[in-house]
Structures are given as C-alpha cells and as structure tokens.
Amino acid sequence: MPLLAKVLTVSDGVVAGTRDDVSGRTLTDRLVGEGYVVVEHRITEDGTEAVAKTLRELADGFAGLIVTTGGTGFGPRDLTPEGTRAVIEREAPGMAEAMRLVSHNQGVPHGMLSRAVCGAVGEALICNLPGSSKGAIECLEAVLPAIPHALDLLSGGRPH
C-alpha cells in the first residue's frame, strides 16, 4: 500500500494571489520523489482558526502524512503551530526538535526561531514546515526516515 500525503500551504499572500506557492509545489515534488502519493494540495490563509479548520478537514478519515508550509515563525499572523495544536491529539516533539537541529547544524541561525509542531490526530501525522522551500525540504528530510514507521503505528501496526 502506498504512503499517502497531503500538503497545506499557509499564506495570506498565496491566498490573495500576490505570492507564488513555491514551497507547496516543492514539497509535493519531493514527497512524490520519495514514493508518496500526494492526494491533495490545499492553500489556506494564516491564522489559528483557518489552519485548524483546514487541518481538521484534511485529517478527517485520512491515514497518512499532512505537511504544512508557512506560518511557523514570529510574524503576527504566523499561527500555524497554534492551529495545529488545536487539532492534534498527541504531539511528536522529537520530530520538531529533529527539524530544528538539522537547521542549526546546517548553519541556519534562524532555524532556532521555528515554532513548528508535529503530532498525530487519528491515523494522520501532521508536520509543520517552514515557508521557505529550502527550509521546508531540509526539515522534511530530517523526519522522512521516521514517517513510514510512525504511520504504521498510527494505523495499528506493532512497535518493532
């Protein structure tokens, strides 16, 4: 059975049509290259309620990976982690820490400012990624090796 994924771009600018969704397309391409079937790519505005509402819709009855891009920094509308926390049932702090560590180790001093959250709701695993395509890919690659096992466990698999 193929691994399924959904991509959510969180950006007022992309919603308004004033900014190109480079990171969303880049993530979709990288996930497909890794063997995932990306079944949906959606865009929503910044803000806790918009993110939470869209994540609930994306996770409803879904068994797979949901990655968000954007809204993880300190800007006034960067509220993707708050929207994610409103939806997830269990956090996966080690995954978020691994993403921050990779940014730090690659000499990205602003990586430590990421407020990204990862966690599970039902059989879906949600990971917040940065809005820059380079940062999003670096953070995704930090957690990619663990995702198939996490999804297996979420769907009722046994720990190895």
Q: Kindly report the pTM of this predicted structure.
A: 0.94
Q: Tens digits of per-residue pLDDT, 43-98?
A: 999 999 999 999 999 999 999 999 999 999 999 999 999 999 999 999 999 999 99
Q: Tens digits of per-residue pLDDT, 100-144?
A: 888 655 655 666 778 999 999 999 999 999 999 999 999 999 999
Residue 160 lies in a domain: no
Cβ-based neighbours of 69, under 8 Å, separated by 6 or more: 7, 8, 9, 10, 23, 24, 27, 129, 130, 131, 136
Q: Tens digits of per-residue pLDDT, 16-41?
A: 999 999 999 999 999 999 999 999 99
pLDDT at residue number 159: 60
pLDDT at residue number 102: 80
**What's the structural domain count of the chain?**
1
- The parent domain of residue 59 ranges over 4-154
Residue 46 lies in a domain: yes
Band of pLDDT at residue 158, cut at 50, 70 and 90:
low
Q: Which of 72, 73, 62, 11 is nearest to 38 (CA)?
A: 62
Q: Phi and psi (nearest 5°) for 86?
A: -70, -15
At 113, which CATH number? 3.40.980.10
Cβ-based neighbours of 24, under 8 Å, separated by 6 or more: 7, 9, 14, 41, 43, 69
Q: Phi and psi (nearest 5°) for 135?
A: -65, -40
pLDDT at residue number 15: 97
